[in-house]
């Protein structure tokens, strides 16, 4: 007898083919049969007339490395149709990590990933030191979705170099030690190696994350170590000093795919992202597999001046990093500091999160009742009314409220015509949810539902069969996720049942369910009727099921 029979759905199989109306039977966590009018011999039968069935979404860019140790349901992703998550992106991992380095690792995550230090201290289960021990913890604990994990460059540098990891390049001997760790991690089951050279990625006190100090020789040595057994994906969030030509060389030397993030459209430098994609295309014509990670969501962040992630990548903002309370207020009030920030924002830049587009910065929530009429208004409009520079308007309001004012900024990817070009590029991968990070700033875990609702149904920039392929089979093929990413007999029953007429993501809302009752932003699914991981239902139309089984697998073997 089958465990589940879904009848009469329009099946989008993940290959990009047009849908067929058929039944799908599940037995023992696998798709047993697909076809018209299958025999009804199942413990549960679902009439899916009028609905669509597809493989579960594969989220290739998440940061659940810490959260999964206290929340194996990796909320909210399963309820948003995600059945497989790749963790460890950008190299901001928590393994390997010696006990002496745990506090530094947490403090760096607080800065670079916008996580609460109190939450991390209360939540992370440190039942590991080595990377293999971390994977063993994940396997013991279980998860609601399938997981594949990168080994992280910054963690490797910290393990080998200690405090010097954020201060200098590595020696030849240190590189050799890191390479040995990479080989061990790959043998233990890592999906690849992740790194970052982005200037926006700073750790505690504004120090660069360790991987930013790595030389080209170090990157090349580590990617070759990653590929020692013929597998692995190298993922990097690149800064301007890392040209696509270098990444092509890495792919050539290793023979492995290189995943490049974060390719977002910048309205003040609109051609830069397309220049990178053109270079990626050229590399592919030469036989290298380079993929650009793009987003289908506008990058919008909520923040306060006590933790202003959008501007922390500015060099001029460095004097404010690491300060708090009265000391931070003194920096923000300093005219010299403000002039330096204004000058940097006025200068051209290849990439930065915030570019002085004050009409896209709004006041969300004020602390003082006297300022209530400022809510939902842009800083640009308020500055015009007050006859002040917008930066002064922002900082003065924040200082007047002890830095408790909540703002929102639409930073990148706001030009929909340009984003449509990114989504349809032949060498782009729709991704960059950042699920598990920036929990108080934004939540794009529902990116797949947004693609199918906003971009497919509402905007018509691609067909639904192609959108499903981009969310499923494409990632499965890149990462070598055998038996996933397609509706095919014998494949894992990772399934998403939804209504194409209503699918999408709801507005963000704030909940208080992190360790210690801390707040995070979340979003609910629209039009989702069911999510199954390895044949086990984890979510329905009302969201994550209460006491849903931890049906996910830790994936440690990949097709090369």
**How confident is residue 123, by pLDDT bands cut at 50, 70 and 90?**
very high
Lowest mean pLDDT among 126-130, 196-200, 474-478: 196-200
Cross-strand pairs, 5: 25, 45
Q: What digits encode the pLDDT tens for the residues 258-314?
A: 999 999 998 888 999 999 999 999 999 999 999 999 999 998 888 999 989 889 889
What does the pLDDT average to over 17-28?
98
203 has a pLDDT exceeding 90: no
Decide if pLDDT at 212 tops 90. Answer: yes
Candidate from 43-57, 104-118, 421-435, 535-549 with smallest mean pLDDT? 104-118
pLDDT interval class at 486 (50, 70, 90) = very high
454-479 average pLDDT score: 98
Strands (DSSP E) contained in 28-170 are 30-35, 45-47, 52-55, 57-59, 82-87, 146-152
Looking at residue 263, what is its pLDDT? 96
pLDDT value at 440 more than 80:
no
Query: Looking at the DSSP assignment, which residues form a beta bridge with residue 236?
Result: 195, 260
pLDDT band at 349 (very low <50, low <70, confident <90, very high): confident
What's the average model confidence in pLDDT over 22-50?
97
Residue 514, classified by CB atoms within 10 Å of its CB into exposed (0-12), middle (13-18) or buried (19+), is buried
Name which of 389, 433, 492, 505 is nearest 32 in CA terms. 492
User: pTM for this structure?
Assistant: 0.92
Q: If pLDDT is split at 50, 70 and 90, which confidence band does 316 have?
A: very high
- The pLDDT of residue 205: 78
Instruction: Calculate mean pLDDT across residues 82-100.
Output: 97
Q: What percent of the chain has pLDDT over 90?
A: 88
Q: Are strands 258-263 and 290-294 parallel, antiparallel or unpaired?
A: parallel
> For residue 359, what are the CA distances in angstroms to 269, 334, 379, 446?
17, 24, 6, 26
Residue 506 near residue 466 (C-beta atoms within 8 A)? no
Residue 238, number of CB atoms within 10 A of its CB: 21
pLDDT at 451: 98
Q: What is the pLDDT of residue 241?
A: 84
Per-domain boundaries in the chain: 59-298+413-481+515-525, 305-410
Average pLDDT rounded to a whole number, residues 526-548: 97
pLDDT surpasses 90 at 206: no
pLDDT at residue 560, rounded to an integer: 76
| pLDDT score, position 53 | 99
Confidence category of residue 253, pLDDT binned at 50, 70, 90:
very high
pLDDT value of position 110: 87
Per-residue pLDDT at 4 exceeds 80: yes
pLDDT at res. 271 = 93
Per-residue pLDDT of 378-433, as tens digits, reads 999 999 999 999 999 999 999 999 999 999 998 899 899 999 999 999 999 999 99
Mean of pLDDT values over 196-204: 88
Strand 233-237 and strand 528-533: pairing? unpaired
In CATH terms, the superfamily for domain 59-298+413-481+515-525 is Metal-dependent hydrolases (3.20.20.140)
At residue 438, the pLDDT reads: 85
- Report percent pLDDT > 70 for the chain: 100
- H or E, element range at 522: strand 520-522
Q: Answer with the residue of higher pLDDT: 179 or 440.
A: 179
d(CA 376, CA 74): 31
């Amino acid at each position: 007898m089958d465990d589940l029979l879904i009848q009469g759905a329009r099946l989008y199989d993940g290959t990009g083919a047009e849908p067929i109306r058929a039944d799908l039977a599940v037995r023992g966590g696998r798709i047993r049969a697909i076809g018209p009018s299958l025999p009804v011999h199942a413990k549960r039968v679902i009439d899916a007339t009028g609905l669509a069935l597809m493989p579960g979404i594969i989220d290739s860019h998440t940061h659940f490395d810490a959260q999964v140790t206290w929340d194996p349901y990796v909320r909210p992703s399963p309820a948003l149709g995600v059945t497989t998550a790749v963790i460890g992106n950008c190299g901001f991992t928590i393994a390997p990590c010696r006990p002496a380095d745990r506090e530094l690792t947490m403090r760096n995550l607080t800065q670079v990933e916008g996580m609460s230090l109190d939450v991390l201290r209360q939540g992370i289960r440190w039942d590991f030191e080595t990377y293999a021990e971390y994977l063993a913890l994940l396997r013991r604990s279980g998860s609601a979705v399938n997981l594949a994990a990168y080994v992280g460059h910054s963690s490797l540098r910290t393990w080998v170099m200690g405090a010097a990891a954020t201060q200098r390049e590595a020696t030849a001997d240190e590189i050799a030690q890191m390479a040995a760790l990479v080989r061990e991690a790959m043998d233990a089951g890592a999906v690849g190696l992740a790194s970052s050279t982005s200037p926006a990625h700073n750790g505690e006190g504004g120090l660069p994350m360790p991987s930013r100090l790595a030389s080209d020789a170090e990157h090349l040595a580590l990617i070759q170590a990653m590929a020692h057994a013929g597998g692995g994906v190298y993922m990097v969030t690149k800064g301007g000093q890392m040209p696509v030509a270098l990444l092509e060389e890495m792919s050539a030397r290793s023979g492995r795919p290189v995943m490049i993030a974060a390719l977002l459209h910048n309205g003040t430098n609109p051609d830069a992202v397309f220049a990178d994609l053109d270079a990626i295309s050229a590399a592919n014509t030469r036989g290298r597999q380079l993929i650009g990670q793009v987003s289908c969501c506008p990058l919008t962040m909520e923040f306060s001046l006590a933790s202003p992630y959008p501007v922390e990548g500015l060099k001029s903002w460095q004097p404010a990093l690491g300060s708090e309370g009265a000391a931070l207020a003194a920096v923000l009030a300093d005219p010299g500091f403000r002039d330096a920030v204004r000058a940097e924002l006025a200068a051209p830049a290849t990439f930065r999160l915030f570019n002085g587009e004050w009409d896209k910065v709004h006041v969300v929530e004020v602390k003082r009742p006297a300022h209530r009429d400022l809510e939902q208004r842009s800083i640009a409009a308020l500055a015009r009314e007050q006859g002040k520079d917008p930066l002064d308007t922002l900082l003065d309001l924040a200082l007047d409220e002890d830095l408790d004012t909540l703002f929102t900024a639409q930073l990148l990817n706001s030009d929909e015509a340009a984003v449509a070009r990114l989504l349809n590029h032949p060498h782009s991968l729709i991704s960059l949810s950042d699920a598990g990070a920036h929990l108080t700033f934004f939540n794009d875990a529902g990116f797949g539902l947004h693609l199918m609702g906003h971009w497919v149904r509402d905007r018509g920039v691609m067909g639904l069969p192609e959108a499903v392929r981009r969310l499923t089979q494409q990632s499965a093929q890149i990462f070598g996720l055998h038996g996933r990413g397609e509706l095919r007999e014998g494949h894992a029953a990772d399934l998403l049942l939804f209504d194409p007429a209503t699918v999408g993501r709801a507005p963000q809302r704030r909940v208080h369910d992190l360790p210690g009752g801390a707040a995070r932003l979340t979003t609910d699914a629209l039009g989702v009727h069911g999510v199954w991981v390895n044949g086990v239902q984890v979510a329905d139309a009302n969201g994550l099921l209460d006491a849903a089984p931890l049906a996910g697998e830790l994936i440690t073997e990949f097709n090369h």
